[in-house]
Structure 1
Amino acid sequence: MTKFVFVTGGVVSSIGKGIVAASLGRLLKSRNYSVSILKLDPYINVDPGTMSPFQHGEVFVTQDGAETDLDLGHYERFTDTSMSRLNSVTTGSIYQAVINKERRGDYNGGTVQVIPHITNEIKERILGVADYTQADVLITEIGGTVGDIESLPFLEAIRQFRKQVGRENVLYMHVTLIPWIASAGEMKTKPTQHSVKELRSIGIQPDILICRCDRSLPQGIKEKLSSFCDVPVECVIPAIDAKSIYEVPLILEQEGLAFQALSLLNMKQRQADISEWRNLVKKLYSPKHRVEIAIVGKYVSLSDAYLSVVESLRHAAIATHSEIHIRWVNSEDLEVEPAQIHLKGVDAVVVPGGFGIRGVDGKVAAIKYAREQKIPFLGLCLGMQCAVIEWARNIVGLKDAHSAEFEPLTTNPVINLLPEQQDVVDLGGTMRLGIYPCRLNANSLAARLYQQKEINERHRHRYEFNNAYRNLFLDSGYVISGTSPDGRLVEMVELPEHPFFIASQFHPEFISRPNAPHPLFKGLMEAAIICSQTSSVPQTPVQVS
């Protein structure tokens, strides 16, 4: 039977529940237990697909096409396990399901209430993930903090859950802040005491406390928390701030988190093998090269909007023994100032995805600069579309070339709407979403990077390369290096005479892993290292291993 771990948070939001849940998943996998992780989000949106990146950060896309919270990206990267739409549940999706059942008459005319109907739906979702994955342990993170009104149905549901599946099969883990008060020169436990008191008032007694702190947690503080929160002192686990999120599993392993969790769940204590994870952290902290990479986007004021892109660059940096410095460049600035002002001296340029016309011409300007100056370039989704627009305008000679998404009346829509999107009205969950196959040109940079003939990548877009212009691009020297298996959809483009210039319609950042960097990001990093080591930017194509 699946065992269940519920992760709640107190005192403040953004305390790191997702990283803690992912880290526990990593530690359990290192003991050869199968793990899945579920996110229960309290917002009423059905999913984050239509939410602004400025508010919510990136939208992470699963293999089966679900638009989910960015924490699912952490879950996948830490556990090296693909999640599905079942692993992301919002208040909106719960209420939508319950209302649909009521409309169908499933409740036989009964009054529909938060308890039991909403809480039962939540419990069914949890059990559904356990049944589908058959995981040894299902870790469930509850978004927000204890005391939030919108989180109450989720907390009530997990309170009931222990009675439903058996006390020995459920573990409650509470992540809380232990602040250091500089003026007093001491740590304070009172916020945690109040947080646990709030949790206990609704019937949940935490079994383990994860104490976020910026310094070592004294034994006296552990004993005080143990006494006031009714948690064994060995289950008061410090989680000291780390230089990298990838160090967190090692810190929690040293503090005995996995050992205590397995003990409380009456599971066998297996020998852990975290050598691979130790090695990648060691490589992260002992770089041999330093590169500066510009990310040119429209949401750069919130780095979480490009979280998977940043983490994919880090994965590539680990694999190439590199330290990366990211230069955040607002694409709107490139619309009013020369690209050279913002991009001079960088070793590579990444243009990620996005929606809407704001900042698009700045992205086009950045791509033109990278192409002309022979700076390694990687375009992702909208980044590929902007690369197509740039080539059409500046090489093919179609000065008004644009995407029909931004200029519906353009006479040269080199990027156009997918045929199946023509009559779509709803924006949420209606794009080309999830994993699709891509066939690679055998003589391309893409094929050399992937070392495969066919790949599978995740998508999130409505518009595509307009095939009416395909021959025009091919005749002018552009290479279409990846297409859908039937050859209809253009998935990848590149420039063979450039040191490293490649762009994809899909989002490779969603499947990169710290122990298995994505080939496109690894190739970019290798090209950037060469760029950083030469006095002048290389003028011939880089041979990428």
Structure 2
Amino acid sequence: MARFIFVTGGVVSSLGKGLAGAALASLLQARGYKVRMRKLDPYINVDPGTMNPYEHGECYVTDDGAETDLDLGHYERFTGVASKQSDNVTTGRIYQTVIRKERRGDYLGGTVQVIPHITNAIKEFATADIGDEDFVLVEIGGTVGDIESLPFMEAIRQLGNELRNNAIFIHLTLVPYIAAAGELKTKPTQHSVKELRSIGIQPDILLCRSEMPIPEGQRAKIGQFCNVPPEAVIQALDVRTIYEVPLSYHHEGFDAAVLNAFGITDAPDPDLSKWEEIVDRSINPEGEVNIAVVGKYIELQDAYKSLTESLTHGGIANKVKVNIDWIESEEFEKDRDSVADRFSGVHAILVPGGFGERGAEGKIRAVTYARENKIPYFGICYGMQMAVIEGCRNLADMPHAGTSEFGDFDPNVVGIMTEWTKGNKTETRSADGDLGGTMRLGSYPCDLIPGSKVHEIYGQDRIDERHRHRYEVNIAYKEVLEKVGYKFSGLSPHGDLPEIVEIPDHPWFIGVQFHPELKSKPFDPHPLFKSFVKAALDHSRLV
């Protein structure tokens, strides 16, 4: 039977519950255990698919097409275990499920209430679709005391009783340093645990974020006031790279405390060699490269979390530090002449995914500069579409080319596809239908053209990559673009959906319709990011 670890947070948000859970899962993996991670989100949206990135950060997409919280990206990057639809649920989805049951008459005319109906639905989700995992880590979003999270807290409280010796609770808090007083303060942690205990949950382990080491005396004080053994009060100090977190937590005894809470005394020692190598490559690079990311949500860099980490992974693979120069694409619309100056000292340019017309012309100008000046260019999803439009306008004598996402252009070389094939099933959507869940989502196959740059990079004929987009490049413009130097080097198996375009007569110019950043990991960097950073490094040696 799987053992459950419930992770809650207190005091303030953004302490890093997702990162803490992911690091713990990686430590349990390093001891030979099989792990699974999932997230309970208290917000009422059914999923983050329609949420503005400024609201929620990145929307992470799984192989099976779930639009999920960005923490699932942390889970995959640290454990390598692919997340599923069943690993993320929101209040909205829970209520949607319960209301559908009520409408069908499943509750036999009974009054539908938060307890037991909503809490039962949460418990069913938390414990469903479990195979032979040794540990299932369940993170509850938000902080203790939030009104939105109360049903989730009640549900895991009940699970704690039902699972008995097969469930523990970890509570992540903040121990702030007050400079004026010159000391760390434990009171916020005490109050947070008091709030947690008031709803019936006694934490087994406290993970205390702090800017500086917490003295033994204060850790003992925390344990005494919070009814936790001193050895289960674990300090979580800031580290040089997030990939040092597993090593730091192991050093502090976090994984040992978890095993002890379950009464496990015969666990094998962890093999942390891969994390030691990753950290060594991260903090001791042999060089550095400057990569410009021309986006439209750069004020909140969590909107590009997987992208940032994938560039870091490419740097780890090439033993270099990647310096990201974040550029707001609208800059190039306000001042056309600023492009060359802004890209001075840049070794590669990346245009990421996005939605909407704002900043599109600025991204197109970035593509033009990269193409004409032979600077490595990587276009992801929207970035590929802008590269196609740029090629049509400036090389194929179609100066008014555009995308139907923004209006009616002459011609629309990018448009909404209303039907395509996934496996043996036909997927359809309507141009005027709901926005939520109507994109091409999840993993789809792509056939690579032999002799192409991407075929060389991947080293295989067919790949599977994750998608999240509503508009597609129109295959009808393949021939005209290939006549002016583009190559459609990756196509859907039926040949009707362009997946990859490249320019052979360029050091490195690749646009992909999918999101390769969603599959990159520090110990297994994505081939495209590994190659892109290598191209940036090669370019840096020329300038």
After superposition, give the CA deviation of every residue in 1:142-171 in whole Å (9 maximum; x if it has no partner).
000000000100000000002212x21001
Q: Answer yes or no: is 1:491 the counterpart of 2:499.
A: yes
CA contact (8 A) 2:59 2:67 kept: yes
Q: Distance in 2 between matches of 1:413 and 1:391?
A: 13
- How far residue 424 of structure 1 moved from its aligned partner, in angstroms, is 5.1
Q: Which residue of 1 aligns with 2:398?
A: 398
SS at match of 1:40: strand
Q: Residue type matched to 2:443 in 1? A: I
Q: Which residue of 2 aligns with 1:277?
A: 275
1:140-539 equivalence runs, <5 A: 140-165=138-163, 167-267=164-264, 268-337=266-335, 338=337, 339-407=339-407, 409-420=408-419, 421-423=429-431, 425-535=433-543
Q: Residue type matched to 1:369 in 2? A: Y
**Could you list the runs of 4 or more consecutive aligned residues of structure 1 that deviate by over 2 angstroms after TM superposition?**
419-424
After superposition, give the CA deviation of every residue in 1:317-338 in whole Å (9 maximum; x if it has no partner).
0111101111100001111223
Q: Distance in 1 between matches of 2:354 and 2:409?
A: 20
Q: Answer yes or no: is 1:95 the counterpart of 2:95.
A: yes
SS at match of 1:516: coil
Q: Distance in 2 between matches of 1:483 and 1:144?
A: 42
SS at match of 2:395: helix
Mean Cα displacement is larger for which, 272-281 or 172-181? 272-281
SS at match of 1:291: strand
Q: Which residue of 1 aligns with 2:424?
A: none
1:10-159 equivalence runs, <5 A: 10-129=10-129, 131=130, 133-159=131-157
Q: Residue type matched to 2:505 in 1? A: E
Q: Distance in 2 between matches of 1:200 and 1:111?
A: 29
SS at match of 1:396: coil
CA contact (8 A) 1:173 1:209 kept: yes
CA contact (8 A) 1:424 1:430 kept: no
Q: Residue type matched to 2:321 in 1? A: E
Runs (5+) with no aligned partner, structure 1: 536-545
Q: Residue type matched to 2:113 in 1? A: Q
Q: Residue type matched to 2:27 in 1? A: L
Q: Residue type matched to 1:522 in 2? A: K
CA contact (8 A) 1:41 1:89 kept: yes
Q: Number of aligned pairs?
A: 531
Q: Distance in 2 between matches of 1:458 and 1:423?
A: 22
Q: Residue type matched to 1:282 in 2? A: D
After superposition, give the CA deviation of every residue in 1:195-246 in whole Å (9 maximum; x if it has no partner).
0000000000000000000111110111100110010001000100112111
Question: Taking structure 2 as the reference length, what is the TM-score of the superposition?
Answer: 0.97
Q: Residue type matched to 1:290 in 2? A: E
SS at match of 2:150: helix
Q: Which residue of 1 aligns with 2:422?
A: none
After superposition, give the CA deviation of every residue in 1:257-302 in whole Å (9 maximum; x if it has no partner).
1111112113341221110111111110100111110000000111
Q: Distance in 1 between matches of 2:478 and 2:321?
A: 39
Q: Residue type matched to 2:413 in 1? A: V
After superposition, give the CA deviation of every residue in 1:48-101 in whole Å (9 maximum; x if it has no partner).
000000111010000000000000000000001100010001000000000000
Q: Distance in 2 between matches of 1:73 and 1:379?
A: 21
Question: Taking structure 1 as the reference length, what is the TM-score of the superposition?
Answer: 0.96
Q: Distance in 1 between matches of 2:334 and 2:92?
A: 41
Q: Distance in 1 between matches of 2:334 and 2:373?
A: 20
- 474 and 449 in structure 1: CA distance in 2 versus 1, 3 angstrom threshold: same
Q: Distance in 2 between matches of 1:168 and 1:51?
A: 39
Q: Distance in 1 between matches of 2:8 and 2:417?
A: 42
SS at match of 2:180: coil
- How far residue 423 of structure 1 moved from its aligned partner, in angstroms, is 4.6
- How far residue 397 of structure 1 moved from its aligned partner, in angstroms, is 1.2
Runs (5+) with no aligned partner, structure 2: 420-428
Q: Which residue of 1 aligns with 2:423?
A: none
CA contact (8 A) 1:288 1:321 kept: yes
Mean Cα displacement is larger for which, 188-197 or 342-351? 342-351
Q: Residue type matched to 2:295 in 1? A: G
CA contact (8 A) 2:485 2:505 kept: no
Q: Distance in 1 between matches of 2:109 and 2:39?
A: 31
SS at match of 1:162: helix
Identical-residue share of aligned pairs (%): 54
CA contact (8 A) 2:445 2:464 kept: yes
